[in-house]
Chains A and B, each alone.
Chain A
Amino acid sequence: MTFFDHFGRYLLMIKGMLTKPENWRMYWKELMKQCQDIGIGSLGIVVVVALFIGAVSTLQTAYQLVSNLIPKSTIAQIVRDTVILEFAPTITCIVLAGVVGSKIASELGNMRVSEQIDALEIMGINTKAYLIMPKILASFLMIPVLVIIAGVLGIWGGRLAGILSGILSPEQFDEGLLSGFLPFNVSFALYKAYTFAFIISSIPAYFGYFVKGGALEIGKASTTAVVTSCIMILFADYILAALLL
């Protein structure tokens, strides 16, 4: 299949899930389950990644700012902006592409191979709507929240690393944190989070939903889904930066 075949089928999948649910209560239940899987299930790794990225960015920024003419509080400014603009949305979402994306692709792939999707179709259920739509909606709800948490923890991790290593005092860090703050940067991070949320959920759903074969193919689909999602995240990251900054 060519790229255009895949893209066409992907668009048809998105179109196919836009129908009236057979039973709102069951869709709601599925949405809540997905919110729990995507949100709570990924919280641990997001916390760890965010803390360390913030901490490392403080240490590396301090390492590069060797001039005494530059105030120490600049380190906090740089850490704040890099965490909000890039690390919290992009790195978190690349990690989530691995965690959530592989889970979505393998779950749907297993359902396809074991005929569970066929069983739902025969019952008269729109499987694209019932299985894929709640995953995308749950990603829209939970991934921006995870990105905000990552941003806050990233900055906090940076502050902690700066204080523990003696690079700068808490007062210096807080001074830098508050100076020249642009609220638009937070909006920009959220635009990214929503865009990446769609990529992280819909691309693995596509590869999982249309898998053919057995366990080996599910593994391949899962890997392809993660790789494609990561590339699309980086591509979208560049496009958004070029358009909005």
Chain B
Amino acid sequence: MIEIKNLRKVFGDKVVINDVSAVMEAGKTNLIIGASGSGKTVFMKCLVGLFEPDRGNILYNGLDFTGMEDEQRKELRQQIGMLFQGSALFDSQTVEQNVMFPLDMFTRLNHHEKLKKVNEVLDRVNLKDANKKFPAEISGGMKKRVGIARAIVLNPRYLFCDEPNSGLDPQTSLVIDKLIHEVTKEFNMTTVINTHDMNSVMEIGDHIIYMYQGEKEWEGSNKEIIYSKSKKLNDFIFASEFLQDVKEMRMLEAEGKAVNGKNGK
């Protein structure tokens, strides 16, 4: 579980994150959504320690990340996996070497054991026959899968994904979403996803935080989002007529179920 208390981050005169508090629970996919420039990337970078917040606390299972010594931070970071927007794979290494890198650095396993573990994780992300390929030789969707495999190879307790669907077609996006959701449940990880993708919101949003101009505007689940009264959230989520229709259909379906439930059907 990650607990965020009154987080604030300022760049110069600009307040990018203003007094944001939230709780990200284990075994759930926690989504941070918001328009470009709303502060969600800075928020995530504060959570993983790439930016130092100016105020507030970030507690990883009760341990205050913001006040930690460097050595303690290093240890905690070995429990964190991250999938980057551009996958951030090491160009000069093959898929196998990329996934093996955390094992090489932090474990004392022999090569055979490491290779077995790498193959297990690559199987888990449905990536076969790509071990010897370089990142430049594989597709965007495959790169994301390698990124996920590298992020989960040390069995982390926390998984962060920065825009996992950017640059992917809708079908591949769904596959990646499903994969992240499945590994979250399977390994009981606390997963935090920063996304623009409304499909992700509706499909895997166990817990959603909507950021608006650096502040938390709304919080809830994908089931609650269609009933939200927040105009800013509705304008953002249901921006197109098509999505408004989807919202209305979903609401009608939900009301229908409630009526059927009352009638005992």
Contacts and interface: CB of A to CB of B under 8 A. Distances in A.
Interface of A: 22-23, 25-26, 110, 114-116, 118-119, 121-126
A119 B106 CA distance: 15
Interface of B: 48-50, 73-78, 80, 82, 84-86, 88-91, 101-102, 104-106, 160
Contact of A118 (B74, B84, B102): B84
Contacts of B77: 121-124
Contacts of B73: 124
A122 B74 contact: no
A26 B88 contact: no
Given A23-B105, A23-B106, A124-B73, A119 B78 contact: no
Nearest to B75: A124
Contacts of A123: 77-78, 101-102, 105-106
Contact of B106 (A22, A115, A116, A118): A22
A119 B91 contact: no
Contacts of A115: 84-86, 88
11 contacts: A22-B74, A23-B104, A114-B88, A116-B88, A118-B50, A118-B88, A122-B48, A123-B77, A123-B106, A124-B75, A126-B74
Given A26-B104, A26-B105, A121 B91 contact: no
B105 A119 contact: no
Contacts of B101: 123
Contact of B82 (A22, A26, A110, A122): A122
Which of A25, A110, A125 has the most chain B CB atoms closer than 10 A to its own CB? A125
Q: Which 6 A-B pairs have the closest CB atoms?
A: A124-B77, A115-B88, A119-B88, A124-B74, A115-B84, A122-B82
A152 B106 CA distance: 44
* Residue among A22, A114, A116, A123 with the highest chain B CB neighbour number at 10 A: A123
Given A22-B74, A114-B86, A124-B74, 12 more contacts: A23-B104, A26-B105, A114-B91, A116-B91, A121-B50, A121-B77, A122-B48, A122-B50, A123-B77, A124-B76, A124-B78, A125-B105
Nearest to A20: B71
A126 B70 CA distance: 10
Contacts of A23: 104-106
Contact of A119 (B49, B76, B84, B104): B84
Nearest to B45: A118
A19 B29 CA distance: 36
Contacts of B48: 122
A37 B232 CA distance: 54
A115 B82 CA distance: 11
Contacts of A22: 74, 105-106
Contacts of B104: 23, 25-26
A23 B106 CA distance: 7
A113 to B, nearest CB: 9
Nearest to A110: B91
Contacts of A26: 104-105
Contacts of A121: 49-50, 77
Nearest to A117: B88
A181 B90 CA distance: 50
Contacts of A125: 105
Contacts of A119: 82, 84, 88
A224 to B, nearest CB: 23
A136 to B, nearest CB: 19
B49 to A, nearest CB: 8
Nearest to A126: B74
Nearest to B81: A122
B256 to A, nearest CB: 46
Contacts of B82: 118-119, 122
A123 B150 CA distance: 10
Contacts of B49: 121-122
Contacts of B102: 123
B70 to A, nearest CB: 8
Contacts of A114: 86, 88, 91
A103 to B, nearest CB: 12
